[in-house]
Amino acid sequence: MRPSLSSILLALVAVLAALGAAPQDAPAPRTLTYAEVGGRPLQLDLYLAKSEAPTPLVLWIHGGAWRGGSRKQVPHSVRELVASGTSVASIDYRLTGEVGRWGDEPVHWPAQRDDAKAAVRWLRAHAKELNLDGSAFVAWGASAGGHLATILALTNDAPGTTGAVGEHTEVSSSVALGINFFGPTDLFEMDADVTEPPGSAIHHDAPDSPESMVLGVAVHGHSLADIREHATDPAEPWPALLALARSASPVHAVSKAHAAPLFTAHGRRDRLIAFAQAERLHRRLQEMELPTTFRPVDRAGHGFGPDLHREAIRWMNGQLAEPEEEEGR
């Protein structure tokens, strides 16, 4: 018998909260509003590194099945980047569990993508005063946050993907790199990608699944399974819902002309997001001849210890250093 979705989400949020507990000597962030939606502020917590030169920035995107979680949940290893000269911004975005809290504005896709890109634009628009290097922004997240970081990195400023949230719509929403920790990559295949073992704790096709919720089942009444079953149906609303689901799936949303290098790490024992989701994305990027680094984690489930964070940070630092090294040759 599968545990209930609500118990899974509560457990996931508890794990994320534990990962984000602040060290006692951690500096307090600046809380800033980057946009307003439905009369309510979207905020970010900014941890600024001390440096004479403009600093790289990691945009941390929390997980929680697009339904819960908080920008306060930042792993220690990510916060510790500040001491080595990289600033960190952890962002709000609309959650599917917040229906009605944003006025008449929707809380389903592409709200999450559009909010995250608005945060990138706001930070770039204020880069000079914040001493940030606008050419060295990195999107990094775990689970649903990993999915959003992947979407940001693989679409950047591709037409139709930037949204209109915030006051800086003329500013680029691109990032230089993406780091994806065990995020969904192809919503249509999430149940099909499950193997036994480890099996799955979530029925992703169900009407109350995180995927159906992020695609707006509460508004239009159609689950992920319904949308897939009508994938070739020309009658409305199916073409629009199919396009929505594809735009929420990095495997389909990726733009070759706009994609940034991506690092993906995924546990082979993950029972919330199947390991095959990461394989699927890595294979797709290889087929498109796009830069992709894939790190399978043999004994991990839906979560990593600090070693994987450090590995991702080494990759990030190496990628950000490459242009400077090239110029010096």
Residue-number span of the structural domain to which 124 is assigned: 5-322
Place 6 in a pLDDT band, splitting at 50, 70 and 90: low
For residue 28, the model assigns a pLDDT of 86
Q: What is the mean pLDDT of residues 70-96?
A: 97
- Tell whether the model's pLDDT for residue 2 goes beyond 80: no
For residue 243, the model assigns a pLDDT of 98
pLDDT, one tens digit per residue, over 51-73 is 999 999 999 999 999 999 999 99
Residue 328 lies in a domain: no
What CATH number does the domain containing 204 carry? 3.40.50.1820
Place 90 in a pLDDT band, splitting at 50, 70 and 90: very high
Nearest residue to 80 (alpha-carbon basis) of 63, 60, 62: 60
Instruction: Give the 3-state DSSP-derived string for 90-143, with helices as H, strands as E and coil as C.
Output: EECCCCCCCCCCCCCCCCCCCHHHHHHHHHHHHHHHCHHHHCEEEEEEEEEEEC
Residue 295 lies in a domain: yes
Both structure tokens of 183: 């995020």
Q: What is the mean pLDDT of residues 216-239?
A: 97
- The position carrying tokens 């220690």 is 76
Residue 316 lies in a domain: yes
Residue 329 lies in a domain: no
Residue 327 lies in a domain: no
Q: Which ranges constitute the DSSP H helices of the chain?
A: 5-19, 76-79, 111-125, 127-130, 144-155, 210-214, 217-220, 224-229, 238-247, 250-253, 275-287, 306-327
For residue 3, the model assigns a pLDDT of 53
Q: How many domains does the chain have?
A: 1
Which of the two residues, 3 and 110, has the higher pLDDT score?
110
* Residue 141: strand pairing partners: 61, 180
Q: What is the mean pLDDT of residues 191-195?
A: 96
Residue 170 lies in a domain: yes
